[in-house]
Structures are given as C-alpha cells and as structure tokens.
Amino acid sequence: MTMDPQIVSWLATLAAASPEQMPPPAGDIHALRCFTDATMSAMFKQLPEAPDVEMALYAAAGPNGDVALRWYSRTDTQGGAAVIYVHGGGMICGTAEIYDPLVRHYVQLTGIPFLSVDYRRAPEYRSVGLAKDAFFALQWLHRESFVLNVDPRRIAIMGDSGGGGIAAATAIMARDHAIPLSRQILVYPMLDDRNIEADPLLAPTATWTYEANATAWKAVLGANLEQNAVSPYIAPARLFDFTGLAAAYIEVGELDIFRDECLSYAHRLVGAGNSCELHMHPGAPHAYDIIGPSLTVSQQAMADRLRVLHKL
C-alpha cells in the first residue's frame, strides 16, 4: 500500500510552508491540542465562503452544565431534515468554532440545516460525558423541532474522527432511549480505545499517529484505559448488541490507523441487520479531505457525503 501521490505532494507543500511545526511528544495533551487545533484552523481556510449561511447560538441543558450549540441554516432553507454535527479532534482537540467553515460548507452545498455541538472535551470532561453532550443536543433538537421547522423523523447525526466516534456512541444512546435517529454518518470515526499498538504497515504514513491516539484515549478514559469495563457510549467498538441502530454511512482511508476498527464496525452493523454504506479510499491517510479539500479523493468523498445528506 502506498499513499496517494496527490496527498504526498500536498503534504510536502504544507510541510515546506510551515517547517517549524513539529508533532508533539507522546503523552503531552496540551501540546497535541495546540498543534492539532492550529493545523485544522489552517486547513479549513482552504474551504470556499458560504455567503448564504446564517448561524445562531443556543444551549442544551445537561445535568452537569449547558452544552453550547450552533444552528446553521441557509437563507432559503425550507425545513425538513437536519443534521447534528460532532467535530473531530481525537475527543481532546477541535471546537465548534474551528469547524465553523466546514459546517457552513455543508449547509451551503445542501441547504440542510446543521446543529454543531461544542461538546466538552477530555481530559477536562471524561468518558461517557462527551457522548452525553451530543445526546443532549439530539434531545434538544427533538424538543425544538417545531420551532426550527425540523421533521424529527429526518434527524441525522454526523461526525469525523473523534467526533465520528462520539456520533456513533450517540446513535447507540438514541437506540437505547428510543429517540428517533434517521442516519449516522461516520467519517473515519475513532471507535476503539484498544487501538494503541502500532501496526508497522500503517504507522509510517499515519497523519493521526498511534502515539496521538494513545494520548487521546488516555485523556478520555484515565485509569480505565484498556480495562474491560469501558462503555460503548464512549468506545462504540465495545458494543455487543448491534441490533436496531440507525442506518449508517462509514468512510475511512486505506492508510488510516482507524481503518480496521471502521471495517469491523461496518461488518457488525450489517451482521445485525442494519443498513450500512461503507467506503475505503485507497492510498488515503486520516483526515485526507481536511489536508486537501481539492484533491481527487477528497472530492469523491465529499460527493458521497452530499449524496447521503440529500437523501435525508
């Protein structure tokens, strides 16, 4: 397996533009957050403007404090479907503000309103609390669906990387609490806390490294890391009963360290009778679309996502 030549070229260009940026040492949560947040902020500047999109601030009340929400809609939105978006960043990085350009981009292209969840990150907020913040957002949107002109039967949840894992966990919570959810759209999701030992075939081309993954899961789980009692509400790969989950769309790169956990998750979803569309992109590492939105593989992935979103 080799990395897509376009991605190789683009990564070389980015490295030449910022030669002073170095990956943080393993275990340094603060350094990893600073590095990742700065990188994502720079990457999202590549996206086009979204002149027709408006944003309003809300909050969902939870037992441990309010969860900040951003409601994005296009000026000509007619109502109907809606998407809850959970930002990436390994559950320790990223914010709804950093992801503002990406969410606006989705809304501009689809006309579907998005509710972006500024969930509280680890290590300040740990374990199942992260997915509970997204679940509170789902409950809030159901309560406010009439006011926001949303059909509660057409609400989907979507997330990438760490946010994809939280989105999958929220879908499990929705099933367990009988909250309607039409679809889960999981973009290279982070699903399994046990994936911290380096695969020699994947480690050399990893853009989200095994060291970063171990740092993130340690921040999320603390002393519970690698313990048998880890909840699927934070590590969905721990789930045993896959029946009755929302229809899924999963995509992952062939060179992503999350590849095998995504393939396994898709297999168990369909094995339990759930619909699941799966894409594995050859030569693509983690976050290929954020690295270069104009690259061929990124355009192909975006076209698939937009097709799924338009079906909601």
- When mean pLDDT is compared across 8-22, 49-63, 163-177, 247-261, the lowest value belongs to 8-22
Question: pLDDT tens for residues 143-170?
Answer: 999 999 999 999 999 999 999 999 999 9
**Residue 81 in contact with residue 110, Cβ under 8 Å?**
no
Question: pLDDT tens for residues 25-59?
Answer: 888 999 999 999 999 999 999 999 999 999 999 99
Question: pLDDT tens for residues 89-109?
Answer: 999 999 999 999 999 999 999
**Residue 88 in contact with residue 168, Cβ under 8 Å?**
no
Q: Which residues of 77-91 are buried (b: 16+ CB within 10 A; e: fewer)?
A: beeebbbbbbbbbbb
Q: What is the pTM of this model?
A: 0.97
Sole residue written with tokens 């989950």: 245
Write the DSSP assignment of 129-175 as a string of letters.
HHHHHHHHHHHHHHHTTTTTTEEEEEEEEEEETHHHHHHHHHHHHHH
The Cα 18–Cα 166 span in angstroms is 31
Please tell me whether residue 116 adopts helix, strand or coil conformation: strand
At residue 65, does pLDDT exceed 70?
yes
Q: Which residues of 178-189 are buried (b: 16+ CB within 10 A; e: fewer)?
A: ebebbbbbbbbb
At residue 186, does pLDDT exceed 70?
yes
At residue 191, does pLDDT exceed 90?
yes
Average of pLDDT values for 54-74? 93
Q: Measuring CA to CA, how many Å separate 68 from each of 36, 57, 228?
A: 21, 8, 32
Q: What are phi and psi of 154, to 5 degrees?
A: -120, 30
CB proximity list for 19: less than 8 A, separation 6 or greater: none
At residue 19, does pLDDT exceed 70?
no
At residue 129, does pLDDT exceed 80?
yes
The Cα 104–Cα 301 span in angstroms is 17
The Cα 172–Cα 200 span in angstroms is 32
**Residue 30 in contact with residue 48, Cβ under 8 Å?**
no
When the pLDDT of each residue in the chain is averaged and rounded to a whole number, the result is 94
Average of pLDDT values for 202-212? 95
